[in-house]
Amino acid sequence: MASRPKSPASSTPVIDVRNVYRIYESAAGYFTALRGVSLTVTRGEFLCIMGPSGSGKSTLMNMLGCLDTPTSGTYRLEGLDVSTLSDDELAELRATRLGFVFQSFNLLPRATVLRNVMLPLTYTDIPKSERTRRAVKALTSVGLPPEYFDHNSNELSGGQMQRVAIARALVNDPAVILADEPTGNLDSATGEMVLQTFKRLREAGKTIVLITHDPEVCAWGDRTMHIRDGRLLSDEEEREIVQAYGGTGRGRT
């Protein structure tokens, strides 16, 4: 795999997206999902990206997670231009430098909590004892009590399952944690508990990018950017749009 900086300078963004477009072709013609998106995320930042359904936020998340590539523009992760990487190198980057947290948890229901967290390390040459140590450390960091480590994941509550999913995202010590609607399947009290977990991780120096449609979730982040029609807007631009449409923010195409 192409080499990445071992100790990136503090001035180097963890994420650096420049003028990215993503255009899809289908039988119906061309569809532009991202339109000139530029974004930087600094180390240790908790960024929320908010937008309605169809705004392009899932496409952006796939791009940041190296699950998709730009039609044009550049994306650098820790200073590394991901467009220069092969499919195998991209897979390695996803496995080692990115942690994913999903709305639906994506846990193995009949596997223990510990095994679920160890899964990203399964196909590495890390000894089992070290894999176990890292999994325990990750679970401890998200506040799950040790008595749950040997439970199967389908025996847990929704909030506990999401904590396990966050621990799994942490186990490789990633550069960035990408969270896609992580509270979407949770009640408000349980969702707040999960957001408190993200806040503690940010205070410990982790970089988090969270995508949501809920402004209350965004209140937990350091910064919020709004995405509409494939474009990222500043807070000021978003306020102007809301004011222009009578406080609803609707009606723009």
- The residue type found at 79 is G
Q: Are strands 98-102 and 208-212 parallel, antiparallel or unpaired?
A: unpaired
Give the model's pLDDT for residue 122.
83
Q: Specify which residues 136 forms β-bridges with.
A: none
Of the candidates 125, 139, 70, the residue with the CA atom closest to the CA atom of residue 95 = 125
Q: Does a structural domain hold residue 1?
A: no
For residue 204, the enclosing domain spans 15-244
Residue 56 has pLDDT above 80, yes or no: yes
Residue with tokens 């910064």: 223
**pTM, full prediction:** 0.85
Q: Does a structural domain hold residue 252?
A: no
Local confidence band at 136 (pLDDT 50, 70, 90 cut-offs)? very high
Residue 245 has pLDDT above 70, yes or no: no
Q: Does a structural domain hold residue 249?
A: no
Give the model's pLDDT for residue 107.
94
Q: Does a structural domain hold residue 42?
A: yes
Residue 123 has pLDDT above 80, yes or no: no
How far from chain centre, in Å, is Cα 63? 11
Whether the CB-CB separation of 74 and 18 falls below 8 Å is answered with yes
Q: Does a structural domain hold residue 59?
A: yes
Which CATH number fits the domain that encloses residue 202? 3.40.50.300
Q: Does a structural domain hold residue 55?
A: yes
Give the model's pLDDT for residue 240.
72
Give me the half-sphere count of Cα atoms (radius 13 Å) on the Cβ side of residue 25.
1
Give the model's pLDDT for residue 6.
44
The rounded mean pLDDT for the chain is: 88
Residue ranges with strand state E in 113-222: 176-180, 208-212
Indicate the number of domains in the chain: 1
